[in-house]
Amino acid sequence: MFWRRKINHRELKKLIAVAKGEAPADLLLAHAKIINTFTAEVEPGNVAIFDGIIAGVGDYYEARQVIDLEGKFVIPGLINGHTHIESPRRPIGRYAEAVVPHGTCAVVTDLHEIANVCGIGGIKYIMSCARSLPLDIFLMVPSCVPATKLETSGAQLSADSVQAYLGKENVLGLGEVMDFPAVLSGDREMLLKISLCKGKVIDGHAPGLKGKALEAYLAAGILSDHESTTLKEAEEKLKRGMYLMIREGSSAKNLDALLPAVSDQTYPRCLFVVDDRSCVDLFNDGDIDAVVRKAIGRGLDPVRAIQLATINPAVYFGLHRFGAVAPGYIANLMVIDDLAAFNIEMVFHHGQLVAKEGKPLFSVDIPKDEDLAHTVNIRPFNIEALRMAACEKVYPIIEVIPGQIVTKKRIEEMKSEGGFIVSDVDRDILKLVVVERHRASGNLGLGLVKGFGLKTGAMATSFAHDSHNIVAVGTNDEDILMAIKGIERLEGGLVLTSGGEILDSLPLPIAGLLSTEPLEVVVNKLENLERTTISLGCSLPSPFAVLSFLALPVIPELRLTDLGLVEVD
């Protein structure tokens, strides 16, 4: 990549000659309306590109190839400043096929999903596969593998692992510091990871932190947060110097609540992210472009919305040659005909046309890696292991909040039969189970959840943030057990059961997280699964996405891991 690679004097001399108009450019985008992300202006002109770099912007260039844009807009390629590229359940090549036609030319990710299953090997696999793609991948070294000590993951990344990766190509800093209790308590290993990243970007993850706790968290050197859910929370974090990542993902949708925080004074410290975006949303709505489009629809000035998805993340992450249409910048560009509609007609990556009219113009290879297969290892257990003794009068219940990944803690009396707690379908309180699947430890977490609406059957997934143990919810133990066993047979995936049979499933053979099939196939299978889930009474629009977060013990208020119930606060 240009911003990393050393340019010899001969290459630099050629670029300068093109910029001076003394030599022809490789490509000229002519008669364009250019979005200037530095000054928020729209200026007419031509964009001259040479060797993947913007040589100049003006009316005085010639080129070997000319594309007449006839007054259409040229915009910098979008930068997704915080996303987990595993969330759409796609290998990196398939992921690129999905997002590049939507204008995403660069992503910043920490790969902690696959690292929790396969460790450094998972990170190496994705980064090696990404080298040949028309998509710039920047890595934030995962800070929390596992997310906390309150769960069992398939791997652990120590401070030594963080240090070993910091000097590698395309590595920007430390990924989201999710274990904020470890920071606040002065945990030695966590503070060592942070101290190793002095002078680099350190991303945060601070849901609900305020007052002295927030001050202490920021004092450690953490710079950003994508977990704000209220305007008050966002404003406090901005006042204390944090960069505000405004998240609009598939499970957590915070744009409407946080958009009022973007003002003439604060916008340079705000950026759009998706965090986790499902393959269905990618297919139907897009990637970061969908967030920009929605923000414009909510009244944000289109040029400002573009700044929050281009120059702002570039500045925050120190990507000095990204995020603008200007001389010396990487020629990651897109062409649109209407700012409000924000429909992307062409996408250029390093000066090459890589997508047109929503279709990728490149092919991908999905290499196999046996170390990422056969990752579901469960100690055998029978249905008796799923029983919950009715020892108390009342029990804690995890309540799902639609459109958010935070949950509420409720205390209620529970229905019991024969001395054991059972799901109470009439009150929408169902059994929740987490099964450790990396080490065959036999760990089983049992709990209760409210908000799914299932009237019959069970659903289970091996894609469960962040340790990716198997998480299942259901109306009865028989269907829950069948769903778990179904995932074991698939070597990872999503399974739906009812009446003692498997109704539908989606295999995820790579680390129990990713499918090798084309996007359209996976989307079709997932949509069929969700339709069938709705037919069983489920009231959530993306039930498997919601289920995938219920075992993440860094999000308030109540979670369930393979080690038991966790009261996060």
**Given this model, what pLDDT does residue 6 score?**
62
**Given this model, what pLDDT does residue 396 score?**
97
The amino acid at residue 60 is Y
pLDDT exceeds cutoff 90 at 148: no
d(CA 528, CA 506) in angstroms, rounded, equals 10
pLDDT exceeds cutoff 60 at 72: yes
User: Which of 190-199, 361-370, 551-560 has the least mean pLDDT?
Assistant: 361-370
Residue 508 — very low, low, confident or very high, per pLDDT cuts 50/70/90?
A: very high
DSSP string, 146-198: SS-SSS--S----HHHHHHHHTSTTEEEEEEE--HHHHHTT-HHHHHHHHHTT
| Average pLDDT of span 514-536 | 93
Among 109, 524, 111, 104, residue whose Cα is nearest residue 290: 104
Token digits of residue 283:
């297919």
User: Which of 33-42, 376-385, 400-409, 525-534 has the least mean pLDDT?
Assistant: 400-409
**Given this model, what pLDDT does residue 103 score?**
98
pLDDT 10s digits, 167-177: 888 999 999 99
Q: Give the 3-state secondary structure of residue 201.
A: strand
**Given this model, what pLDDT does residue 365 score?**
84
| Average pLDDT of span 203-220 | 96
d(CA 246, CA 241) in angstroms, rounded, equals 15
| Average pLDDT of span 250-263 | 94
Question: Using CA atoms in the order 274, 78, 36, 46, what is the torsion angle rounded to 10 degrees?
Answer: -160
**Given this model, what pLDDT does residue 366 score?**
82
pLDDT exceeds cutoff 50 at 522: yes
Among 76, 91, 1, residue whose Cα is nearest residue 32: 76
- Stronger pLDDT, 373 or 31, i.e. the higher one: 31
| Average pLDDT of span 425-448 | 98
| Average pLDDT of span 279-294 | 96
- Could you give the percent of the chain with pLDDT greater than 90? 89
Q: Which residues, 6+ apart, have CB-to-CB distance to 239 below 8 Å?
A: none
- Could you give the percent of the chain with pLDDT greater than 70? 99
| Average pLDDT of span 519-533 | 94
Among 155, 130, 136, residue whose Cα is nearest residue 145: 155
**Given this model, what pLDDT does residue 4 score?**
45
pLDDT exceeds cutoff 80 at 262: yes
Round the average pLDDT of the chain to a whole number and report it: 95
**Given this model, what pLDDT does residue 3 score?**
41
Kindly list the distances between the CA atom of residue 281 and the CA atoms of 31, 345, 369, in Å, as whole numbers in the listed order. 34, 19, 28
Residue 294 — very low, low, confident or very high, per pLDDT cuts 50/70/90?
A: very high
The secondary structure element, H or E, covering residue 233 is helix 231-239
| Average pLDDT of span 95-101 | 96
Q: How far is CA 552 from the centre of its chain?
A: 15
d(CA 546, CA 534) in angstroms, rounded, equals 14
**Given this model, what pLDDT does residue 369 score?**
81
Token digits of residue 229:
């859910």
Q: Is the peptide bond before 466 cis (omega within 30 degrees of 0)?
A: yes
**Given this model, what pLDDT does residue 1 score?**
36
| Average pLDDT of span 345-356 | 98
DSSP single-letter state for residue 514 = B
